Amino acid sequence: MDYETPQFYRVMQYAARADRDVVEMVSGSPDWDPPEAVRDGLSAYAEADADEFQYAPSRGLRGLRAAIAARHGVDEARVVVTNGAGEANHLAMTGGLERFDGGEILLPDPVYPYYAGRANFLGAETTFVPVESDGRLDPAAVRAAASSETAVVVANSPNNPTGAVYGEDAMAAFVAVAEENDALLVSDEVYSQFDYSGRFSSALAVESPNVVATNAFSKSMAVTGFRVGYAVFPPTDGPTGDLVERATTRHMLTNVSGSRPAQYAVQQAMERTDTAYYEAARERLQQRIGRFCEALDEAGATYTRPDGGFYVLARFPDFPGSFENAERLVDEAGVAGMPGAAFGEARADDLRFSLTTPRVETAAERLVEYFG
């Protein structure tokens, strides 16, 4: 699989050029409104003094970092605000490769392609650990794949693309693998607000100097364009306390700082948005998942109903998840899904569908008509 070139836009652009109506189910951009406090925060910021329009502190606005630290029960010094979860993952993976002796990154298969692309960009060796039939990584398989050559182990829960959610025991096992092999666990938790199982547990629940947890507000607050993410690094007084300083330096040299208005608006939303907003988003998505899975049953597809996130992997009879078939689906059914082949070998016959569209019902009907 070519992880050097981002593949998402290949399918999205093909769908955009189609000479028919297409339901786009490739992008993971939420189609619902952000919290009202986000809009209010931006409006208020427009009236701020001139000095508030200058560089933000490189690690992020103090108030936002404090709110993030309070959410996770950690010291504020461990938090670096980044340009989305993508940069947070980049800083964590780079730090792990620099800080630990190995040169290998362990990734799940299927894998979110940007992890693998980032590993290639960093010149790391990659080893892929196939998931089980239910879409979950078996900690024993991760342990068997790890070695003294392993510097970074990547986990993602809730998972993109499988929808797997890992509980406390699984996360503790992943942490243990990292510790046993003198490696860093990078736990991407960007979909943590979209757990339908009640099982989700942050890697930060395990006190360890071998853990960096990353997250963002892109999905949970429906503000993917804001690029406000963060990483929580190990305690600064521990054996890997230098990781946060390394990350801060790299972040500063690359970006100087992040967007001050976006960070302010997100901080306001963190402080003023109640749980009803997030509950409504989860309920909306669960309804879509239910309807879409009903259609998959009618179409004769095999799939794993996601426990979290907003993606569904499905396999249709005699229709492998290649790029060619993804394009056929656009042309002949009017539905754009992401080829399973883009995520690795373990689910190469599947197609991944994002349910962040109000047209899930239309897509469901078209798939039933096409495959049924």
Q: Is the pLDDT of residue 292 over 70?
A: yes
The CATH number given to whatever domain includes residue 235 is 3.40.640.10
Residue 156 has a pLDDT of 98
Write 294-302 long-range contacts (CB < 8 A, 24+): 294/364, 295/363, 295/364, 295/365, 295/367, 295/368, 296/367, 298/368, 298/372, 299/367, 299/368, 299/370, 299/371, 299/372, 300/371, 300/372, 301/367, 301/371
Per-residue pLDDT of 121-137, as tens digits, reads: 999 999 999 999 999 99
Domain boundary among the residues 257, 272, 287 is at: 272
Instruction: Quote the pTM value.
Output: 0.96
**172 and 234 both lie in a single domain:** yes
Q: Tokens 């996130």 correspond to what residue?
A: 309
Neighbours of 91 (CB within 10 A): 27
Domain boundary among the residues 247, 272, 297 is at: 272
Output the CA–CA distances (angstroms, integers) from residue 300 to 132, 143, 297, 312, 326, in the order listed: 21, 36, 5, 15, 17
Domain boundary among the residues 228, 247, 272 is at: 272
**311 and 241 both lie in a single domain:** no
The per-residue pLDDT of the chain, averaged, comes to 96
Residue type, 56: A
197 occurs within a structural domain: yes
CB 28 within 8 A of CB 219: yes
**261 and 280 both lie in a single domain:** no
Per-residue pLDDT of 166-213, as tens digits, reads: 999 999 999 999 999 999 999 999 999 999 999 999 999 999 999 999
Number of domains in the chain: 2
Residue 7 has a pLDDT of 80
Residue 8 has a pLDDT of 78
**191 and 320 both lie in a single domain:** no
Residue 93 has a pLDDT of 98
Residue 3 has a pLDDT of 61
The DSSP code sequence of 268-289 is HHHHH--HHHHHHHHHHHHHHH
pLDDT band for position 2 (cuts 50, 70, 90) = low
Per-residue pLDDT of 237-251, as tens digits, reads: 999 999 999 999 999
CA distance 348 to 2: 13
Q: Domain range holding 308? A: 8-34+275-371
- Stretch 288-303: mean pLDDT, rounded? 98
**287 and 173 both lie in a single domain:** no
Q: Is the pLDDT of residue 283 over 80?
A: yes
2 occurs within a structural domain: no
Residue 9 has a pLDDT of 83
**289 and 171 both lie in a single domain:** no
Q: Is the pLDDT of residue 154 over 90?
A: yes
Neighbours of 161 (CB within 10 A): 29
The CATH number given to whatever domain includes residue 304 is 3.90.1150.10
**78 and 223 both lie in a single domain:** yes
**69 and 183 both lie in a single domain:** yes
